[in-house]
Amino acid sequence: MTAVPLRLPRRLVEFTLDGQETRVPEGSTILDACRAAGKDIPTLCQGDTLTPKNACRVCVVEVEGARTLAPACSRRAEAGMTVLTDTERARHSRKVVLELLASSTDLSTTPRAAEWLKEYEAKPDRFGPDAARVNEEPKVDNDLYVRDYDKCVLCYKCVDACGEQWQNTFAIAVAGRGFDARISTEHDAPLTDSACVYCGNCIEVCPTGALSFKSEFDMRAAGTWDEPAQTETTTVCAYCGVGCNVTLHVQDNEIVKVTSPHDNPVTHGNLCIKGRFGFQHVQNRV
């Protein structure tokens, strides 16, 4: 059973959300309030284990009196504020942001992207056939995971997970500027020459599938990746005494990917190289 730490009671903040009086604990974001109220706001750079960079801007909402729209994922609810999540203005920005992303990057493995594009009637093709794209080849430089930056939306989550928010390895950062900005190791060196420790915590937080297990990448390339057919079994990692939960994703009796539950108080979704990638011995059949 998970222990629930006792905290000081939090005051409630009262504000108006789409015309409804809403009360949320102090410090909650507008997104927290929206989700508590059952509203579905698209997000990419927001993640349940990280402080969002609020860089993707698909979650923008209208705050009455503000000159610009506010990112729901980062803007905290304030007493008395009036928030509108579904105005034409907010929907327009979300639509254009989705079009800009889909016209420059490959969103084919981004969960829910197709659904959002449809919902907001986004037409990425209208920028024409010559619209600049990120155009990156997948970087396959090690046996464990693949970096396919053609699918990267620069949400900064991998950088934050690798850096001070979780892993403190600092193997990757954003390099370059503007449309040419890319997630990169120093001097764009292969991962094998970088500070990477292959914890795979960047894969865990990647919202688009730009970072993936080599096993998943190969199976997708071969057309054998079949997510609905996979089972997920959460167990305890046997490598050391910390007791991390590992969730084994199994397809055709083979482990194809390992994750960790984000609400696990030990891992918060993070693992080390052994828990994440050291599963081959389980399926060594003579």
Partner 1 sequence: MDLRFTGAAPSDAERAAVDALLGPPPSGWEGAAERTDGDLRWATGGASAAKDRRDQLLPALHAVNDRVGWISEGALDYICRRLTVAPAEAYGVATFYSLFSVKPRPAKVLHVCTDLACAARGAGALCGDLRSEFGEPGTPVEGAVWQESPCLGLCERAPAALLLRAGGGPAGEQPTGGTSRCSAVIAPATAPALAAATRSPATAPAEPPAAAAVPQAGDPSLVLLKRVGTVDPASLDDYRAAGGYTALRRAFALGPAGVIREVLDAGLVGRGGAAFPTGRKWQATAQQADGPHYLVCNADESEPGTFKDRVLMEGDPFALIEAMTVAGYAIGAERGYLYLRGEYPRAYERLSNALSAARARGLLGADVLGQGYAFDIEIRRGAGAYICGEETAIFNSIEGQRGEPRSKPPFPVEKGLFGKPTAVNNVETLVNVLPILERGGAAFAATGSGSSTGTKLFCVSGQVARPGIYELPFGANLRDLLGLAGPAENLRAVLLGGAAGGFVRPDELDIPLTFEGTRAAGTTLGSGVVLVLDDSVELPRILLRIAEFFRDESCGQCVPCRVGTVRQEEALHRIVDRTGAGAAEDIALMREVGQAMRDASICGLGQTAWNAVESAIDRLGVYK
Cβ atoms of 109 and 175 closer than 8 Å: no
Tell me if 252 contacts partner 1 by CB under 8 A: no
Candidates 13, 30, 69, 205: give the one binding partner 1 (CB under 8 A): 69
Cβ atoms of 73 and 98 closer than 8 Å: no
Q: Which residues, 92 to 111, sit near partner 1 by CB under 8 A?
A: 92-93, 95-97, 100-101, 103-104
Tell me if 46 contacts partner 1 by CB under 8 A: no
Cβ atoms of 50 and 205 closer than 8 Å: yes
Candidates 7, 177, 281, 285: give the one binding partner 1 (CB under 8 A): 177
SS (HEC) of 103-167: HHCCCCCCCCHHHHHHHCCCCHHHHCCCCCCCCCCCECCCCCEEECHHHCCCCCHHHHHHCCCCC
How near is the Cβ of 113 to partner 1 at its closest, in Å? Answer: 13
Distance CA(201)–CA(166), nearest Å, equals 8
Q: Which residues, 203 to 242, sit near partner 1 by CB under 8 A?
A: none
Tell me if 172 contacts partner 1 by CB under 8 A: yes
First to last CA, the chain: 38
Q: Which residues, 132 to 161, sit near partner 1 by CB under 8 A?
A: 132, 153-154
Which residues make up the interface to partner 1 (CB under 8 A)?
53-58, 60, 68-69, 71, 74, 89, 92-93, 95-97, 100-101, 103-104, 126-128, 130-132, 153-154, 163, 168, 170-181, 184-187, 189, 193-195
